Amino acid sequence: MRAALTALEETLARKGGAADKPLTGRVVLIIGANASARAVAFGVRKRGGMPILAARDKELAQSLAGQFKCRFVPFEAIYSTTYDVLVVTSGESQGNTGEAAGLHPGILRNGSVVLDVTHSPRLSPLASEARARGCLVLSPRQVLQAVAASAVQLLTGQPADQAALAAALARACGAEEDQA
């Protein structure tokens, strides 16, 4: 999730945040209480952001919030929770049947940044709706590209060719939905 946070910071910086610390002071609502949610909460807090955790499993989410000394909100309260960034890390956005039933698009705030990693490498229905409603959407494909770039840098000591990575992802995963 480190690469995802880096991609998120780059997106926030482009949106007009402080270039050196774009997460500082940002309220990040994290939906889920899995390993990805833990990594995001840790990274957001470390970068000066204010994570808020919510999940259907109230006890697990409260425990996780306690570990990271961040705010917890009951899942039922997410629709009235103010945030700058929405990160969906688990199938909370899907019902038990796999339908997009867990999160209603009413959670979306115009002008916010949305990252939903539940449908990687494609946009989830929630992320598609977020884009249509004027949110800045960080796609799972962008996160995958950031992960790949990080791996190339680590293995070779050289920065990755972003155009080559984008082309390789397009070949491997098919065409991506329109970018915001």
- Structural domains in the chain plus CATH codes: 2-139 (3.40.50.720)
How far apart CA 98 and CA 141 sit, in angstroms, is: 21
Helix locations, 16-117, DSSP H? 35-46, 58-67
Nearest C-alpha neighbor of 27 from the set 61, 52, 58: 52
pLDDT of residue 18: 67
pLDDT in tens, the chain (180 residues): 788 898 899 889 888 766 788 999 999 999 999 999 999 999 999 999 999 999 999 999 999 999 999 999 999 999 999 999 999 998 654 444 444 446 889 999 988 999 998 887 788 899 999 999 999 999 888 888 888 998 999 999 999 999 999 899 888 887 765 444
Q: 61-111 pLDDT, tens per residue? A: 999 999 999 999 999 999 999 999 999 998 654 444 444 446 889 999 988
How far apart CA 27 and CA 56 sit, in angstroms, is: 20
pTM of the model: 0.86
pLDDT of residue 128: 92
Q: What are phi and psi of 83, to 5 degrees?
A: -150, 165
Nearest C-alpha neighbor of 72 from the set 45, 90, 50, 54: 54
pLDDT of residue 142: 85
How far apart CA 157 and CA 136 sit, in angstroms, is: 31
> Are 44 and 69 contacting, i.e. CB atoms less than 8 angstroms apart?
no
pLDDT of residue 17: 63
- How many C-alpha atoms does 87 have within 13 Å on its Cβ side? 29
How far apart CA 83 and CA 125 sit, in angstroms, is: 20
pLDDT of residue 180: 40
